[in-house]
Structure 1
Amino acid sequence: MQGRRHGVRLLLTLLVLAMLQVVGPAASYACACGAMIPSDESARSAGELGLVQWDGKTETLDLSMVVQGETKDAAWIMPAPKGTRVTLGSDGLFDRLTDLTKPRVEKRYNYWPSFGGDDDRSGDGAPRAGGAPGGVTVEGHSTVGPFDVTTLSGTDGSAVTTWLTAHGYPARPDLVPAMQAYLDQGWRLYAVKLTSRGSTLRGTLSPLRLSFAATKPVYPIRLSHHARYRQSVVVYVAAPHRMELDPVTAPRSTTTDVPFARWVDGAAVGGRGGERVFLTKLRQSVDPQDIQADYTFRSTAADTQQQDVRYVDVDRSWVTWSVGVLVLLAALIGWLVWGVRRSSRPVGNVG
């Protein structure tokens, strides 16, 4: 009896462990392009969407976080160069980009009858500018649509973390080295808060737009190295030529999928209509540990256009069946005619 009870306890323990593996721990803090913090522990960052527009001198970065679950408000940290201008992005931008870059549909006609089987072919109050704890300076605060944005600079990543913790951001000492690296570059850290204003935040959040001078396009993602979950990253790059992720900054063991790379009108990405830009869509499912640097991009050797294709099978087996039936009917009619003629042939006299 005691052995049986021990076996039941062991089985229950294994079941509990299995459930914990499936459900996973609740996340109160996850990283994306910046470090994102939903206020509700049942919600977490599921990924990010970014549009990088670069004309050779200036970069405009539209960034939208994707929340899995629901939360009343969220906050994140975004690094960017000194002098960055922060404005509100266009709602629906990434829905339009998704539609623009969706796979091209091609019909594939099937004339051979199918005889069964499955075949899936689907390709807090606003802080005041000025003094702060030593090593960090609050350069300014602004309200951008539903976003409250505070600009931080300084020389000490630990001091920045202390400031963030004092203003409602969870303590994350593991981010100090990455923040320090940005400060050493002369970059600024933008502390952003977004509230739902009576409803809840879920899915793709409103985009925020950052504009700054850049000698080459860059996507600040280094803080995502400290994310707790695998991240889905989709980056659109609109530039004078086709762009690719620079191997020097690419994740070590992550494959970058390029489902779309074509010339488009600038208006399609929020730019000037009548001007052509080359839009490249890059997609990753990346292990945070593989992210070691901000993504930078370079021109490819040629502006080769490509687009994923989704095949739609059109059943034309009725044509084959019809032809088969006609052939059989013709054969039957021919056989009948031959039989009739043979039976009506005169029989010769005997003797």
Structure 2
Amino acid sequence: MPRTHRHRLLRAALTLALLTAALVTGGLANPAWACGCGALVPGPGRVISVAQETSAVAWNGRREEIVMELNVNGTAPDAGWIMPTPSTATVSLGDDALFGALQQASEPQYRTRHYFWPRSGADWPFGLGGGDDMASGSAAAAPRPVSVLSRQKLGPFEVTRLAATDSTALQNWLTRNGYSESPRLAQGLKPYVARHWQYVAIRLAPKADGSTLDGGLTPLRIGFASRELIYPMRLSSLASSTQTLRLYLLTPHRMTPGALGGGTATTAFAGRLNASDLPAGTVTAPDRPFLTTLDQVIPQPWRIKDDLHFRQASADTPYRQTIYTDRLLEFAGLPAWFVVLGGAALLGGALAVTVGALYLARRSRRRIRV
């Protein structure tokens, strides 16, 4: 190969390597890790991910309230979170007690099922051990490109409410205020700007000891007017890993979710609650709300094209997951099949002895007559 041609190939390979390095350091060092309801973004050179997102969503047909709890991990000592809302939002701190009560209300019921014949590998005489466990079972537009509507400090959070008429200007504001430099976020916000939504921008302040954000964060309670039950999810399309979401819906009737990013929601619980089932003051729910507990796994978040919308189900059919424990049927501490077969054998033996005795007695009488 001529030396000039080799030099050209070497320069091309070096250029490709430099471009690849630039993409890796510039595109991945500061990713926009999205959570289900909004986008969670770390500072430069940091990464953060949402391990679990849990939200209680109360709606009475006119107003919606989201109490959100995030469990995060990563290398960031601080981070920003942007959540779009269809109207002006109120923001306050939430209470962990709400999620404890909702989890307790949604717990599955446990039942024991008995089987008669022994199972291979589990029961004598085929093996040792007990039965197998089996589970069975779903605004008006702002006059300026970006307007700061309010600022407040809530525990570890710095909360700013925004309105915007231009997605690029909104992205510039977020960049100047240390939220994100990613142009992908501006692209993700564009549909909300077109619909004149507002935004809750939240800074998670650094910890006093300088440690990274890890584990459960203090819940946030966000309320806004809405004639539709909706969970803002469009920004989750920025995520690069599987999203796991649990939603507790507190509504007048049972609700059914629409499709979202190829993931299918499963119902863990559906049923009517009493006012005493919820800790006082933790959420503004309808009187005797119907609780629908949904678990959603989104393996390909980049397929998300819209928010998560809900519609009223055709009926308020209750549902509680049932987890069965299968056990071999016993009688007096012995396997029932053994007792039955043993009893049948004894009865058959006794019957055979009785028939034999009667036969011999009858034969003896015949001999005596002769």
TM norm structure 1: 0.77
Larger gyration radius, structure 1 or structure 2: 2
Q: Kindly state the Cα deviation for residue 251 of structure 1 after the two structures are TM-superposed.
A: 2.1
Give distance in 1, aligned partners of 2:74 and 2:341.
56
Once the 2 structures are TM-superposed, how far is the Cα of residue 346 of structure 1 from its aligned partner?
4.2
Q: 1:178-217, aligned counterparts within 5 Å?
A: 178-194=188-204, 195-198=206-209, 201-217=213-229
| Deviation sequence 1:278-315 (CA, Å, 0-9, x none) | 11122221221232112222212222222222112133
Give the equivalent residue in structure 2 for 1:60.
65
Residue 293 of structure 1 corresponds to: 306
Work out the CA distance in 1 between the residues paired with 2:59 and 2:111: 32
- Number of the residue aligned with 1:258: 267
| Aligned counterparts of 1:294 and 1:237: Cα–Cα separation in 2 | 16
Q: CA RMSD in A?
A: 3.1
For residues 255 and 325 of structure 1, the distance between their equivalents in structure 2, rounded to whole angstroms, comes to 51
State the 1:107 CA deviation: 2.0
Give the direction of change, closer, same or farther, for the CA distance of 1:233–1:311 in structure 2 (3 Å limit). same
2:24 counterpart residue number: none
- Out of 56, 74, 84, the position equivalent to 1:51 is 56
Residues in 1 aligned to 2:133 and 2:29: alpha-carbon distance in whole angstroms = 35
- The percentage of aligned residue pairs carrying the same residue is 32
Letter in 1 for 2:56: L
Matches within 5 A, 1:7-86: 28-32=31-35, 33-38=37-42, 41=46, 43-68=48-73, 72-86=77-91
Report the CA distance between 1:85 and its aligned residue. 0.6
Deviation at 1:201, TM superposition (A): 4.0
Q: Structure 2, unaligned stretches of length 5 or more?
A: 1-27, 123-130, 137-143
Mapped pair 1:122 → 2:135: yes
Match of 1:112 in 2: 117
Q: Following the alignment from structure 2 to structure 1, what is the Cα–Cα distance between the partners of residues 368 and 196?
A: 119
1:218 paired with 2:223, answer: no
Offset from partner CA, 1:218-248 (integer Å, 9 cap, x none): 1111111111112112222211111122x4x
Number of residue pairs aligned between Structure 1 and Structure 2 = 314
Q: 5 Å matches for 1:142-161? A: 142-161=152-171
> Structure 1 pair 228/252, CA: closer, same or farther in 2 (3 Å)?
closer
- Deviations for 1:14-70, whole angstroms, at most 9, x for unmatched residues? xxxxxxxxxxx8885310111113569464123422221111211111112232457
2:150 match: 140
How big is the shift at 1:175?
Answer: 1.5
Q: Look up the match of 1:172.
A: 182
In the alignment, the residues of structure 2 paired with residue 301 and residue 273 of structure 1 have an alpha-carbon distance, to the nearest angstrom, of 21
Query: 1:38 touches 1:44 (CA, 8 Å); kept in 2?
Result: no
Counterparts of 1:219 and 1:349, CA distance in 2: 99
